Amino acid sequence: MTGKGQGFGFGLGKMKELAEAFKKAQQVQEGAKRLQEELEQMEIQGESGGGLVKVIVSGNQEPKRVEISPEAFGEGAEVLSDLVTVAMKEAYTKSTATMRERMEELTSGLELPGF
């Protein structure tokens, strides 16, 4: 056994890398907070029936509003229900894709050393 304690194998170089990693992680955390606020303000639209029904959600998939044109009511309850469902699915899909893209942009520069 040697008398020198390396402290769990962390040399000075590793400590610098770890400090950099923490700094990057903090930047990502701050960016994530800003992104969360941005996503809440976004309006992402899904539509169906050639625009007869529009569903608007936030970037966090939070429902904001539904717009139904007067012509859509003439289609009957069952068709209208289908149109709303299709528009909701499209809005949700676009919203989750947007969130995923933005998160990837945020974390793309993050490389944690030694992990």
Q: CA-CA distances (angstroms) from residue 86 to 6, 21, 104, 112?
A: 61, 43, 27, 41
- Walk me through the domains of the chain, giving residue ranges and CATH numbers: 12-107 (3.30.1310.10)
Are the beta carbons of 53 and 73 closer than 8 angstroms? Answer: no
The pLDDT of residue 96 is above 90:
yes
pTM of the model: 0.72
Residue 69, classed as helix, strand or coil, is: coil
Nearest to 92 by CA among 67, 59, 66: 59
Who wins on pLDDT, 1 or 27? 27
Structure tokens at 53: 């029904």
Distance of CA 76 to the CA centre of its chain: 36
Of 10-14, 20-24, 42-46, the one with minimum mean pLDDT is: 10-14
